[in-house]
């Protein structure tokens, strides 16, 4: 709700009390900077968010299963830097504010994601199933080419893109 509509409503209705917590809470503003959400499928694995996070809430961990993402909301300051700099929009902020919890649930209040590890189809080396960073590649890649890129390790991805330029 923008300022003018809120102002008009306040003039019409006068002061009022929200029923929360005895009733449902009024919907939060759409652009409220709340809980972080992470989509592992479109993450490019650049780790920029981990470097930029001022409070150290975002951590990536290399595990045998792949690259694990973790964001602990009890230390996140909801500044939105990660969402602003994320090149693919994999990390974004929701407007969810209801985060009050008991002490026992303190460490459970986290967002998790896993970018699975893959074996490269070309060289058999280790790779990650990250979304390819191909926004600037011309001509744009087809969906089929994107899927082929995803199944390769970083070195074979570069080779694939080079050879693609030669063939066309």
Partner 1 sequence: MTLVDKLKDCAARSPWLYRINAGSCNGCDVELATTALVPRYDVERLGCVYCGSPRHADIVLISGPLTVHVLAAAQRVYAEVPDPKVTVAVGVCPISGGIFRESYAVCAPIDRYFPVDVNVPGCPPRPQAIIEGVAKAIAIWRSRL
- CB closer to partner 1, 16 vs 139: 16
- Indicate the DSSP class of residue 135: T
Beta-carbon contacts of residue 151 (< 8 Å; ≥ 6 apart): 118, 120, 121
The nearer residue to partner 1, 63 or 98, going by C-beta atoms, is: 98
- Residue placing its CB nearer to partner 1 in the complex, 98 or 158: 98
Cβ(18)–Cβ(25) under 8 Å? yes
Burial grade of 64 (CB within 10 A; 0-12, 13-18, 19 or more) = exposed
Helical packing angle, 143-150 and 154-167, nearest 10°: 150
Selected from 3, 15, 136, 139, the binder of partner 1 by CB under 8 A is 15
Phi, psi of 10 (to 5 degrees): -65, -35
Query: Which of 78, 80, 114, 145 touches partner 1 by CB under 8 A?
Result: 78
Residue from 5, 12, 22, 166 touching partner 1 (CB under 8 A): that is: 22
Strands 126-128 and 110-119: antiparallel
Q: Tell me how far apart the terminal alpha carbons of the chain are, to the nearest angstrom.
A: 51
CB of 106 to partner 1, least distance (A): 6
Contacting residue, 42, 61, 74, 135, with partner 1 by CB under 8 A: 74
**Does residue 119 touch partner 1 according to CB under 8 A?**
no
Q: Which of 54, 63, 48 is nearest to 112 (CA)?
A: 63
143 binds partner 1 (CB under 8 A): no
Can you tell me which of 101, 126, 146, 155 binds partner 1, judged by CB under 8 A? Answer: 101
Selected range binding partner 1 among 52-60, 112-120, 139-147, 150-158, rule: CB under 8 A: 52-60
For position 9 contacting partner 1 by CB under 8 A, the verdict is: no
Residues of this chain that bind partner 1 (CB under 8 A): 15-18, 20-22, 25, 28, 32, 54-56, 72-79, 97-103, 106, 109
């Amino acid at each position: 709700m923008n300022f003018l509509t809120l102002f008009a409503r306040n003039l019409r209705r006068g002061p009022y009390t929200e029923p929360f917590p005895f009733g449902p809470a009024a919907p939060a503003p759409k652009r409220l900077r709340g809980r972080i959400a992470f989509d592992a499928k479109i993450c490019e694995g650049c780790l920029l968010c981990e470097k930029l996070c001022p409070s150290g809430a975002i951590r990536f961990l290399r595990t045998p299963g792949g690259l694990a993402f973790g964001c602990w909301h009890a230390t996140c300051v909801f500044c939105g830097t990660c969402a602003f700099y994320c090149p693919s929009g994999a990390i974004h902020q929701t407007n969810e504010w209801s985060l009050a919890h008991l002490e026992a649930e303190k460490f459970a209040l986290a967002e998790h994601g896993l970018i699975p590890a893959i074996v490269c189809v070309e060289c058999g080396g280790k790779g990650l199933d990250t979304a390819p960073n191909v926004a600037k590649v011309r001509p744009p890649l087809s969906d089929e080419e994107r899927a082929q890129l995803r199944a390769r390790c970083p070195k074979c991805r570069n080779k694939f893109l080079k050879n693609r330029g030669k063939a066309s």
